[in-house]
Structure 1
Amino acid sequence: MTWGIISDSSCDLPSNAFAGSGLHFGVVPLKITVGNNEYIDNDELNVNTMMTDMKSYKGPSSSACPAPEEWAKEFRKSDKTVAVTMTSALSGTYNSALIGKKMVLEESPEKSIHVIDSHTTGGGLVLILRKLEELITQGLDFEAVVKQAEAYARSIFLLFSCGSYDNLVKNGRMSRIAGILASSLGIRAVAANTPEGTIRVLQKPRGEERALEAIVRTMSEWKNLAGQPVVISHCNNPVGAQRLKEKIIHVCMTTKITILQTRGLTSFYNDNGGLMIAF
């Protein structure tokens, strides 16, 4: 029996991330539209080109979830498949995956397919995918893998701090005046996912250093992270990501920290300088 683990492209992992594991790993890409240009969020995407295009384009940009058939194509490749999607509260990706699941099970009812709504994005999906690899390699049956993975997904927190408010303003999610004011004051808002998968702003510190301190303080208050995994995703901000890693090691007593460059979708929302932390 063959196993597959599938994710949408908000996971920030390349398609070869689980090479050598014996599992099929597939990434179903979202698409980002900037003016007349469409960018497919796959391994070939040049994120910097897309970000430069977004910066110069004066109008709003948009993202689109994968079609059900794109999920179905991946589901057909394995006997047992668990897929993980970004939060359904902010994207139609989860529902698209469910439709793809239904399509494949109607064709091949002997297959086992489950779709997890992560209620998060970015590094949150990375942690769930790695947990799935761990559970599957332990030899657990499909139902046990799904039950433990779902429980693990509900334990994950996500914090983030956008590097710029330009994209939020262009797409009507923040007023132009509020964006100008926040930028001029150097405000680096720290936000988090909710249990329902939506977003709430926690604090509005001024400057990246204070934002990093607020993130680490929140992490230590919300969870005992001693020896636990953490994933930091950054949008062209390796220095900030490294400083954050050092603070986490010192305060939260864990060295199991992965730093990733954001892919297309997470770069689209975090903008240059942005940071996301899953734990």
Structure 2
Amino acid sequence: MNTTLCIFCFMKESVQDRPAAVCGADRPTARESAFLTITLKIFGKRERKNYMNWNIITDSSCDLLPSTSPDGRIRLASVPFTIRIGERDFVDDEHLDTMEMLSAMEQEHSAGHTSCPTPDAWLAQFEQADCAIAITISSQLSGSMNSALAARDMALEKNLDKKIVILDSLSTGPEVLLCVKEIERLIRQGLSFDDIAAHARNFLQKTKILFALSSFDNLIKNGRIHRLTGMLAKALGIWGIGSGSDEGKITFESKARGAKKVVQTLVSTMKEHGFIGGNVAISHCDNLALAQTLKNSILDIWENTSIEILPTRGLCSYYAERGGLIVSY
């Protein structure tokens, strides 16, 4: 922009030096006007390239709510799942009352189910920015990825110049959150769209996710564990501890009795996975106290760790159930 301003100042001085009768009251010549117009267009394009707007889009498996950066360059958008409990539909957007949904779940005897975002919901977000990066819940757990891919094809049919990439998180919740934060950091560093997409894919291959469940109501209602077994485990204070596999599936690995043992097991597993400090995200389903205890235990061992705690939104609340924790690192 400095070059443009200098050219403009030079032209203005040249015009001012010319007699009024010749220049027509300080107006530049047609040649000067054309040169200025071309110059401004060139620099305008460069300015736009440096300040492209971005839309980072997740489905509502990510516990971050929609937001926009202070400079307006980066939007975080969310496309909602719909959660069916009995005869009620709960849309997992920023207006959802998660506590009301949890209460409905606990009072309902039949199994609930979820519906992934539609292609139209993804498409609406892809059309909002020059560059769109979408991150979905694991394709092994939902059809959200397929909806996003269909929407991308529709968006590119309308505008081939759109930059859109779809990332399969092979995970959910806080692991998606960590990837969003990493993408924001890379955008501010000025990396290209392709470099950011490649880095984000690699990032998701390195992060891990663990979860701890204190309630097994959903598993019982869906017939995944025997009712008596689930009720006995809950009565004895037994938690189920699991993780996400490299293929994007959820597996139960161990159990722990009592909240203290749960924290110890989670921290021990992080050690086994080679965690040495860095960024951690903890999502809790109506259990801030235990999330804070886990945070403190992590910091006692790894001081050079940044930890963000968030309440679960609708989808993760549906699966984690009241009291559950999900942690990614």
TM-score (norm. length: structure 1): 0.96
SS of 2:237 mapped into structure 1: coil
1:168 aligns to what? 219
In the alignment, the residues of structure 2 paired with residue 93 and residue 178 of structure 1 have an alpha-carbon distance, to the nearest angstrom, of 32
Shift of 1:172: 2.2
Residue 20 of structure 1, CA deviation: 4.5
Residues 234, 112 of structure 1: alpha-carbon distance in 2 compared, 3 angstrom cutoff: same
Q: Secondary structure at the match of 1:11?
A: coil
The answer as to whether partners of 1:160 and 1:275 remain within 8 angstroms in 2 is yes
Correspondence 1:274 to 2:324 = yes
Contact 2:68 2:74 in 1 (8 A): no
Where does residue 309 of structure 2 map in the other structure? 259
How far apart are the structure 2 equivalents of 1:180 and 1:254? 40
Shift of residue 216, structure 1, vs aligned partner: 0.4
* Alpha-carbon contact 1:216-1:251 (below 8 Å) kept: no
Amino acid paired to 1:183 = K
The separation in 2 between residues aligned to 1:87 and 1:271, in whole angstroms, is 19
Deviations 1:41-76 (A, max 9, x none): 011100000111111111111111000110000001
Is 1:233 the counterpart of 2:283? The answer is: yes
CA deviations on 1:185-243 (whole Å, 9 max, x unpaired) are 321111000000001222111112101100001112213332x0100100000110010
- Name stretches of at least 5 consecutive residues in structure 1 with no aligned partner: none
Matches within 5 A, 1:9-28: 9-16=60-67, 18=69, 20=71, 22-28=73-79
Distance 1:76 1:222, change over 3 A: same
| Secondary structure in structure 1 of the residue aligned to 2:219 | helix
The answer on whether the counterparts of 1:248 and 1:254 sit within 8 Å (CA) in structure 2 is: no
CA contact (8 A) 2:68 2:75 kept: no
Name whichever structure is richer in helix by fraction: 2
> Could you say if the C-alpha distance between residues 128 and 155 of structure 1 is closer, same or farther in structure 2, counting changes exceeding 3 Å?
same
Q: Identity of aligned pairs, percent?
A: 37
User: What is the aligned counterpart of 1:31 among 70, 82, 104?
Assistant: 82
**Long gaps (5+) in structure 2:** 1-51
| Structure-1 separation of matches of 2:63 and 2:69 | 13
Distance 1:273 1:18 in 2: 32
Secondary structure of 1:225 counterpart:
coil
Per the alignment, residue 259 of structure 2 pairs with 208
Change (3 A) 1:20 1:260: farther
Contact 1:119/1:195 (<8 A) preserved: yes
Aligned length: 278
Matching residue within 183, 187, 190 for 1:136: 187
Q: TM-score, normalised by structure 2?
A: 0.82
